[in-house]
Amino acid sequence: MSLIPFTRWPDAFAERYRQAGYWLGKPLSHMLAVQAETQPEAIAVVCGERELSYAELDALSTNLAQRLANHGLGQGDRALVQLGNQAELYIVFFALLKAGIAPVNALFSHSRLELRAYAEQIRPRLLIASRLHPLFQNDDLFLAELQQLAGIDTALLHADGLAQRSLAAWLQPVAAAREFAPTPADEVAFFQLSGGSTGTPKLIPRTHDDYYYSVRRSVELCGFDRDTRYLCALPAAHNFPLSSPGALGVFDPGINALSILTKLLPSRAIVRAAQLHFPSNRQTPIAAELDLVTDDGAPIRAEFDWRQTGPQTWDIELETDAGRAVLSLGGSRLEVDGKLVHEGSEHEYPGLYRVFARLVREGRSDVDAEPLRVVADAFLLGARDQVEAFDE
């Protein structure tokens, strides 16, 4: 029986992933333990004027894990966490992994609607938040609201003046009164937030095994090594800056078009500028415009708008020395200089599913990182503006 109820991976899939070496049977906290042992003095986190080595990050997270265990928290418990882009976010995350407590990491921009929804779903015993957030800034009204709603019995606050609930105080060393340990690798490690494009973000249970593989594979694809420095300019608690090479957001319906575009071009497409439009009640862009250029200097304009009604528009227009070509209908229709030269049935997704089935049978992966790179660059370089609220 699972410590936290969730739908497990099929046994045959799990066994195949273990035999292939994708799943290692180790907790996510293992990655920090390895670094703390092999390069303890190397810098792990830079936060403003502060620097934490791997040894310090490991020690601080262990201190918090021990205090939580002493307080009676451990495997099977859940936590609601809301911290900004700060070193404490990583200290807390590794501490909860070490103690076997599964958190959901709310974005710092999330407000009462989202936090109440998360609390109702996971029923956390523990809340870790910040006095710098408007909901907790001036009084304890919302804290009391969450405690009554979800039965939270322990609350820790960053920048709080009371020692008994000051996060900084709980990071100090303490004598061990109880043992603690991560949950097994095939159990829920934490709850990942969905993109929130269709309402309040959903909570996705992620196991140590499957998420650790995602991190390792992303590191390989991005070419990260021990000398890499990563500037986290996006909300650190979200899946993209936490573990992955790219976030799809509004590009989800356009990512296949980007995949075709990057295949068609003879050289790379480089994002020069982007404009991302975020609804006032959402954390995911609903529309975007990208200006790109190839290595050879050819300009490209890409426009995405999820608000379009009626039949979905899916067009790629190419101006070449030999004439003008237009791909439409998911790439199934091709016109050259206004003349139809090819038209097939729309079998984009059936074709993808056939490829997926073949890859699963053969135990292989097939990844094209180029469209994801375009998306990541758009998020890093793009200007953000707020548009009207979106309600489905």
Residue 239 falls inside a structural domain = yes
Q: Which of 41-55, 61-75, 286-300 has the highest mean pLDDT?
A: 61-75
Q: How many angstroms separate the CA atoms of 32 and 61, rounded?
A: 10
Same domain? For 219 and 255 the reply is no
Q: Place 65 in a pLDDT band, splitting at 50, 70 and 90.
A: very high
Residue 124 falls inside a structural domain = yes
The confidence score (pLDDT) of residue 252 equals: 38
Same domain? For 200 and 220 the reply is yes
Please indicate whether residue 103 or residue 311 has the higher confidence score (pLDDT): 103
Residue 293 falls inside a structural domain = yes
Same domain? For 226 and 350 the reply is no
Number of domains observed in the structure of the chain = 2
Q: Place 230 in a pLDDT band, splitting at 50, 70 and 90.
A: confident
Helix (H) or strand (E) holding 377: helix 370-381
Same domain? For 66 and 207 the reply is yes
Q: Of 212, 243, 274, which residue constitutes the final position of a domain?
A: 243
- Sign of the torsion formed by the C-alpha atoms of 307, 327, 360 and 222: negative
Residue 61, pLDDT > 90, answer yes
**8 A C-beta contact, residue 245 and residue 222:** yes
Residue 1 falls inside a structural domain = no
Across 142-156, 199-213, 277-291, least confident range: 277-291
Closest CA to 250 of 292, 195, 178: 195
Q: Is 315 helix (H, G, I), strand (E, B) or coil?
A: strand
Average pLDDT of every residue of the chain:
85
Residue 288 falls inside a structural domain = yes
Reported pTM = 0.64
How many helices (H) and strands (E) the chain has is answered by: 12, 16
- Count the neighbouring beta carbons within 10 Å of the beta carbon of residue 55: 16
Residue 367, pLDDT > 50, answer yes
Same domain? For 133 and 74 the reply is yes
The confidence score (pLDDT) of residue 118 equals: 96
Domain harbouring 365, CATH code: 3.30.360.10
Domain harbouring 57, CATH code: 3.40.50.12780
Residue 44, pLDDT > 90, answer no
Range of the domain at 366: 249-387
Residue 6 falls inside a structural domain = no
Same domain? For 130 and 219 the reply is yes
The confidence score (pLDDT) of residue 203 equals: 93
Same domain? For 88 and 203 the reply is yes
Residue 69, pLDDT > 90, answer yes
Residue 5 falls inside a structural domain = no
Q: Place 373 in a pLDDT band, splitting at 50, 70 and 90.
A: confident
Which tens digits make up the pLDDT trace of 11-33? 999 999 999 888 999 999 998 88
Same domain? For 222 and 362 the reply is no
The confidence score (pLDDT) of residue 68 equals: 97
Same domain? For 104 and 181 the reply is yes
Q: Is 262 helix (H, G, I), strand (E, B) or coil?
A: helix
Q: Of 194, 214, 243, which residue constitutes the final position of a domain?
A: 243
The confidence score (pLDDT) of residue 246 equals: 27
Same domain? For 217 and 347 the reply is no
- Composition of the chain by helix, strand, coil, percent to 5: 35, 25, 40
Same domain? For 133 and 32 the reply is yes
Alpha-carbon distances, residue 232 vs 29, 87, 287 (angstroms): 20, 11, 23
Same domain? For 208 and 356 the reply is no
Q: Give the DSSP per-residue string, 24-93.
A: -S--TTHHHHHHHHH-TTSEEEEETTEEEEHHHHHHHHHHHHHHHHHTT--TT-EEEEE--SSHHHHHHH
Alpha-carbon distances, residue 290 vs 177, 298, 375 (angstroms): 56, 14, 10
Q: Place 350 in a pLDDT band, splitting at 50, 70 and 90.
A: low
Residue 286 falls inside a structural domain = yes
Across 97-106, 154-163, 319-328, least confident range: 319-328
Residue 330 C-alpha from the chain's centroid: 27
Residue 221, pLDDT > 80, answer no
Closest CA to 335 of 324, 344, 346: 324
Q: Of 189, 210, 243, which residue constitutes the final position of a domain?
A: 243
Laid out side by side, the sheet with 154-158 consists of: 154-158, 126-130, 78-82, 102-106, 188-193, 203-207
The confidence score (pLDDT) of residue 310 equals: 60
Residue 49, pLDDT > 70, answer yes
